[in-house]
A = this chain, B = another copy of it.
C-alpha cells in the first residue's frame, strides 16, 4: 500500500511521529542546528551552507513549517527563519517524557 494508517493510532502517537520527522533527515537536522546556533537564518545563507539546491532546501523548510518547529518572517526580498520556541519546547517535553519512561532493570526478559 504505502499509506500510513494514522487513524489506528492515537493523536499523541501521530504527533510524536511528526515531531520526530523534523529530525529524521540529515538536511533538516543541519537546518535546525544552524537555527538553534543562530549561525544563519536567511534561506539563501542556508542554501550556501548545505550542498543542496535552493528548491530542495525550500522544501525541507516547508516541511519544518508544517510541523511548526520553525517560523518564517518575510523581510523582502529575504525570508528569515527561526525556531518556534513553543514547539521546540513541546519537542523537548515529548522526547524527554518518552525517553525517560524506560528505566533499565537487570531482570528483563532479554
Residue of B nearest to A32 (CB): B98
Residue of B nearest to A110 (CB): B73
Residue of B nearest to A86 (CB): B104
With both chains docked as a complex, state the minimum distance between the C-beta of A78 and any C-beta of chain B, in angstroms. Answer: 10
The docked-state distance in angstroms from the alpha carbon of A24 to that of B82 is: 23
By a CB distance below 8 angstroms, the chain B residues around A91 are 99
A109 lies within 8 A of B4 (CB): no
A17 lies within 8 A of B8 (CB): no
Chain A interface residues (CB < 8 Å from chain B)? 4-6, 8-10, 13-14, 16-17, 19-30, 32-33, 35-38, 41, 50-52, 71-73, 75, 80-83, 85, 88, 91-92, 95-96, 98-102, 104, 108-110
